[in-house]
């Protein structure tokens, strides 16, 4: 019953999340939990292995990407908005390191699903990104 939204965004968590996420026991537990949530349908999931490992047969898969500079700016602004003190260069280095660790891990690495729709939202705001996703859904 405690909102931990701010705490999970801190540098202390960000610095260790990829190391924890690559543990087989953690991945196995989360895999079952995530699949159970999705069984009823009507769910949107966000994560680095959702389309390739967790829900490989999902009806729709979107792979969002953006330049490292734009991702850094967004993450930095998010931290500041939460009242978390941050250094922009450290945020960038953290993102680069996390991408590297997540892409190279043996279990459920970060990668684009072959059948995913790629959206580069470097120059799109949140509403434009959602509109882009909805445009694909409305075509079906």
Question: 117 forms bridges with which residues in the sheet?
Answer: 62
3-state SS, residue 120: strand
Length of the chain: 140
3-state SS, residue 115: coil
What's the confidence (pLDDT) of residue 45? 93
The pLDDT tens digits of the residues spanning 98-114 come to 999 889 988 888 899 99
State the angle between helix axes of 88-104 and 68-81 in degrees (0 to 180), rounded to the nearest 10: 120
What's the confidence (pLDDT) of residue 62? 97
Q: Which of 8-17, 43-52, 101-110 has the lowest mean pLDDT?
A: 8-17
The pLDDT tens digits of the residues spanning 13-28 come to 877 887 888 888 988 8
Contact 27, 107 (CB under 8 A): yes
In whole angstroms, give the CA distance from residue 134 to residue 119: 12
Q: Return the beta strands (E) in 1-140 as ranges.
A: 62-65, 117-120
In whole angstroms, give the CA distance from residue 128 to residue 16: 32
3-state SS, residue 40: coil
Selection from 49, 47, 94, 101 nearest residue 75 by Cα:
94
- Domains of the chain in sequence order: 7-139 (3.40.50.300)
Contact 48, 64 (CB under 8 A): no
């Amino acid at each position: 019953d405690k909102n931990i939204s701010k705490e999970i965004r801190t540098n202390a968590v960000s610095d260790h999340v990829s190391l924890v996420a690559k543990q087989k026991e953690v991945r196995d537990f989360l895999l079952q939990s995530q699949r159970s949530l999705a069984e009823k349908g009507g769910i949107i999931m966000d994560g680095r292995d959702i389309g390739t490992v967790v829900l490989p047969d999902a009806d729709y898969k979107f792979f969002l990407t953006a330049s490292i500079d734009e991702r850094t700016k967004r993450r930095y602004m998010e931290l500041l908005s939460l009242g978390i003190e941050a250094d922009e260069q450290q945020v960038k280095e953290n993102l680069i390191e996390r991408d590297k660790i997540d892409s190279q891990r043996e279990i459920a690495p970060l990668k684009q699903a072959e059948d995913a729709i790629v959206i580069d939202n470097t120059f799109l705001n949140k509403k434009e990104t959602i509109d882009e996703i909805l445009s694909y859904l409305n075509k079906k």
